[in-house]
Structure 1
Amino acid sequence: MNELLHPEMFVIDLFSKGQFSVKGEEKFLDRDTTVIVLDRNEGKLGNKLTFWFDNQTGIILKMVSSDGEKPLQTMAFEKVTFSSKITNDRFKLFK
């Protein structure tokens, strides 16, 4: 699950393992997401990974491993809430 919350290192590693394509934008969990597909020659869980990246945070909200069009494994959040109650005055700058 850490890969979904902090996808930067996970995704960087995947760039060298296949061909990425942007499939478009979709709503997932009432959030705007960008759907990106990685086609790869080989993999433990199929030859295709599909990601739903949250447009505002960059978090991967859903990931599906497939063999062709046959889904093999899905990891996804069932619910997500981001706090908007934190304001800048809660942080102090060090001098």
Structure 2
Amino acid sequence: MLYPLVSVLPQELVFRTFFFHRYKQILPSKTSRLGMSTLSFSLAHGVYGNWIAVGLSLIGGLLFGYRYAQTRSTLLVAFEHMLWGSFLFTVGLGVYLLSTPAN
């Protein structure tokens, strides 16, 4: 129940809203901002210690970044992120996005 507020919304604020606004001067093309946002979103999921999380996040980051670049709507992208994330947990792939590896 807390997934949208605790995970999705902060990620969308950082990786889409903040990123696209903050780096507009450095990366003037939407395509370059989309690529860097996607890459950073994906690599941030490396904390889970598996390449499946990174790969799924690469696909999701591209989808969410594209949607944000088109609409500039954080809430719309957060809603879509929540739906796809919930879907991944429903089909059993959420296990790759839950915890970091034990040391």
TM-score, normalization by structure 1: 0.27
Pair member with larger Rg: 1
Higher RCO (CA < 8 A, seq sep 6+): 2
TM-score, normalization by structure 2: 0.26
